[in-house]
Chain A
Amino acid sequence: DTGVSQDPRHKITKRGQNVTFRCDPISEHNRLYWYRQTLGQGPEFLTYFQNEAQLEKSRLLSDRFSAERPKGSFSTLEIQRTEQGDSAMYLCASDASPGGEQFFGPGTRLTVL
């Protein structure tokens, strides 16, 4: 399968715990995006990378959130001190610049108890 993959698919955690998600983009894609989707809403942009550089972060990305893409391939999204409001689907997408079609992974569903 050469699509975008995400791991884990589901994560249940207790409030205050740290969680980390991984995204593997389509191999020839140099841009990688993170979005968050809550029930009944469309995805909302969080941040994006071009190669290993993080070029934009949304105001939604509080200081408890950090994302990395150390070698310009896979990316991780870490949430520290999780809160119940962090419960959502976290989606990763990738495309090839410029102007490429953006393809999404299956998402990681986070539940914070």
Chain B
Amino acid sequence: QKEVEQDPGPLSVPEGAIVSLNCTYSNSAFQYFMWYRQYSRKGPELLMYTYSSGNKEDGRFTAQVDKSSKYISLFIRDSQPSDSATYLCAMRLTGGGNKLTFGTGTQLKVEL
């Protein structure tokens, strides 16, 4: 079993829809949670960075962390075709080397 599980999709939604992306994890020591967006053949781009449980909002993006359930989510409001990409969740421990443990990524397509 992987430490971080993420449905690979693909997920296809119409333009303007609300998108919900999720990850579950097994290591309760993870304290920092991130979402990255990756376009085809490009490097990951940091979207959201949160510490411990709670919500964080940035424009059309909202990240939620529920440590009691070991479950994190990313919501995208008013989705656009330009949001079509692979979304990777990542997490790390407190202290240590800051290395990230990633999910497999969810491929999202927003259609006109």
Q: How large, as a class, is the contact surface on chain B?
A: 20 to 34
Most chain A CB inside 10 Å of its own CB: which residue of B8, B97, B104, B105: B97
Closest Cβ of chain A to B32, distance in Å, is 7
Inter-chain contact A104/B36, CB cutoff 8 Å: yes
Inter-chain contact A45/B32, CB cutoff 8 Å: no
Inter-chain contact B43/A42, CB cutoff 8 Å: no
Complex: chain B residue closest to A49, CB-CB: B97
A65 close to B (CB within 8 Å): no
Inter-chain contact B49/A42, CB cutoff 8 Å: no
Number of residues of chain A lying within 8 A (CB) of chain B: 31
| CB-CB contacts below 8 Å: A35-59 with B | 35, 40-45, 48, 50, 55-56
Inter-chain contact A104/B104, CB cutoff 8 Å: no
Asked, given contacts A42-B103, A42-B104, whether A95 binds B41 with beta carbons under 8 Å apart, the answer is no
Complex: chain A residue closest to B89, CB-CB: A42
Asked, given contacts A31-B98, A48-B98, A55-B97, whether A104 binds B49 with beta carbons under 8 Å apart, the answer is no
How far, in angstroms, from A101 to B40 measured CA to CA in the complex?
22
Complex: chain A residue closest to B51, CB-CB: A99
Task: Give B residues with C-beta under 8 Å from A.
Answer: 4, 6, 8, 32, 34, 36, 41-46, 49, 88, 90, 95, 97-105
Which 3 residue pairs across A and B have the least CB separation, nearest first? Answer: A42-B102, A104-B43, A45-B99
Task: Give A residues with C-beta under 8 Å from B.
Answer: 4, 6, 31, 33, 35, 40-45, 48, 50, 55-56, 89, 91, 93, 95, 97-107, 109
- 30 A/B residue pairs, CB under 8 Å, sorted by A: A4-B43, A31-B97, A40-B8, A40-B105, A41-B105, A42-B6, A42-B105, A43-B44, A43-B88, A45-B99, A48-B98, A56-B97, A56-B99, A91-B43, A97-B98, A99-B32, A99-B98, A100-B98, A101-B34, A101-B49, A102-B34, A102-B100, A103-B46, A104-B44, A104-B46, A106-B42, A106-B43, A107-B42, A107-B43, A109-B41
